Structure 1
Amino acid sequence: MGRAFEYRRAAKEARWGKMSRIFPKLGRSITIAAKEGGIDPEMNPKLRTAIATAKAQNMPKDNIEAAIKRAAGKDSADIKTIHYDGKGPHGALIIVECATDNQTRTVANIKAIFGKNGGEFLPNGSLNFMFSRMSVFEVKKPKMDLDDVELEMIDYGLTKMDVNEITEDNEEKTLTFYGEYESFGLLNEGVEKLGLELKHASLKFIPNDAKEFSEEELEDIEHLLDKLEEDDDVQEIYTNIE
């Protein structure tokens, strides 16, 4: 999903009051990270970044601690991350990332959402060659020279850096770091060593060939994306939108 489109989505979520649904999704991300790599953030870089991302979204400390504790509970054993492929209106390609304790329920819901909103549910893996799995870190723009930041981060697996304008007055900017899938822990180490303020970090599906759509087409596609985001099991959505 292109950066401009991501910010457009974020602005719409804020206007529509959808931010209240972010905390449960962040909580599941923390629980899954803790279950996979242990509940000690010092020993688990994915958990550290999940916590930092949650804090950047103003998730209360009690919620974060509860999410970590859930990783040790019996219920967490059934939570799995799974991806579903689909096509949206006008040929938009979509990968839906879910965290679920009931795959039968989740796949039925996702199939129904695609079918009822002008989309098509595809067999798993259909879009593997259309996207690349990458480590993506978004940080607040530091005061240090950006060329120096880029050179430093290259030593930690950086393959690309974007500077993003996120306000109309251009007063606040963020940097987005991209690296290979396997470089997640190394990039996280670099962010911490440079003392950068993390806003979000995850393993994302980046389109190999992003496509531009008209405003009218985007309205149709966004209607489907809105419906997918409303499902409680959906964690992230990736598209080939420029």
Structure 2
Amino acid sequence: MGRAFEIRRGAKEKRWGKMSKLFPKLGKSITMAAKEGGDDPEMNAKLRAAIATARAENMPKDNIDKAIARATAKDAVSYTEINYEGKGPHGVLIWVECATDNNTRTFSNIRTVFNKNGGGLLPTGGLEFMFTRKSVVKFKKPEDKDLEEIELELIDHGLEEMEDLGEEVVVLGDFTSFGSLSKAVEELGLELTKAAPERIANNSAEFSEEQITEIEVLIDKLEDDEDVQNVFTNIA
């Protein structure tokens, strides 16, 4: 994933917020989590994490409540999670996670974006062993707690790696430890800013600034699609 990509991704998320594109994506994540595991955040770790991420992006409480309510509404839309794997300019590997109510539309849109921006889709499973699914939990760096003590506490809950990013701290763990790890962060009194499974490249690749600029055109187009929830690459 790489620090540079995290910074770029963060900047993109802020742009989404200003363009009112981030909230619908966050709302869809909340609705799907509530439909999957129930509408009680105390009993549903995935929903609790989705709500925490939405709050960190300043999503209004009313929007969050409506997203939860949509999960049990009589006319609730059923979303299917579907992944697309592809290559972009200069051979960059790209994994796209989508949530859609129309697979045909989503496939057509994603394929078009790849084809028009120097890339192409790969057969399903083509990148399966190139990325590893990890639990990624972020929290605001505390002023009154020692990070080493926090790290020791979280090891028992699945922590594999922790990195101080300055204002935030990011924790990586095995995918199966997501619920335990995110809950442990909350129980330590830390302010959760994001908690979600992510796909991290097993082997990252270096690209020049000029190449990354070209690659970002494709990534931005993918992220702008309403059905796309996440885009992961092997950029170092």
Q: TM-score, normalised by structure 2?
A: 0.95
Give the match for residue 156 of structure 1: 157
Query: 1:186-205 residue pairs with structure 2 within 5 A?
Result: 186-205=180-199
Q: SS in structure 1 opposite 2:217?
A: helix
Which of 223, 226, 229 aligns to 1:232? It is: 226
- Cα distance in structure 2, aligned partners of 1:11 and 1:108: 28
Q: State how 1:1-242 maps to structure 2 within 5 Å.
A: 1-12=1-12, 14=14, 18-76=18-76, 78-143=78-143, 144-165=145-166, 173-242=167-236
State the SS of the aligned residue for 1:139.
Answer: strand
The number of residues matched between the two structures is 235
**Post-superposition CA distance 1:79-128 (Å, at most 9, x none):** 11111101010010000011100011101100010000001111121101
Q: 1:127 & 1:75 partners in 2: Cα distance?
A: 36
Contact in 1 for aligned 2:17/2:23 (Cα 8 Å) = no
Deviant stretches of 4+, over 6 Å: none
Residues 95 and 232 in structure 2, CA contact (< 8 A), matched pair in contact too: yes
* Residues 35 and 76 in structure 1, CA contact (< 8 A), matched pair in contact too: no
Is this contact kept in 2: 1:89–1:221, CA < 8 A?
A: yes
TM-score (norm 1): 0.93
More displaced, 117-126 or 3-12?
3-12
Distance in 1 separating the partners of 2:18 and 2:113: 18
**Which AA in structure 1 matches 2:117?**
N
Query: Any idea what SS the aligned residue of 2:118 has?
Result: coil
Q: What CA RMSD, in Å, does the superposition of the two structures yield over aligned residues?
A: 1.4
Matched residues in 2 for 1:16 and 1:61: separation? 18
Deviation (angstroms), 1:14: 3.6
Q: Could you tell me whether the CA contact under 8 Å between 1:31 and 1:76 is conserved in 2?
A: no
Change beyond 3 A, Cα 1:221–1:67 = same
Q: Counterparts of 1:41 and 1:15 in 2: how far apart (Å)?
A: 28
Runs (5+) with no aligned partner, structure 2: none
Counterpart of 2:206, as a letter, is: E
CA deviation after TM superposition for structure 1 residue 9, in Å: 3.3
* Alpha-carbon distance in structure 2 between the residues aligned to 1:26 and 1:37: 17
Distance in 2 of aligned mates of 1:79 and 1:33 = 11
Give me the whole-angstrom Cα distance separating, in 2, the residues matched to 1:180 and 1:213. Answer: 28
Classify the secondary structure of the residue corresponding to 2:34.
helix
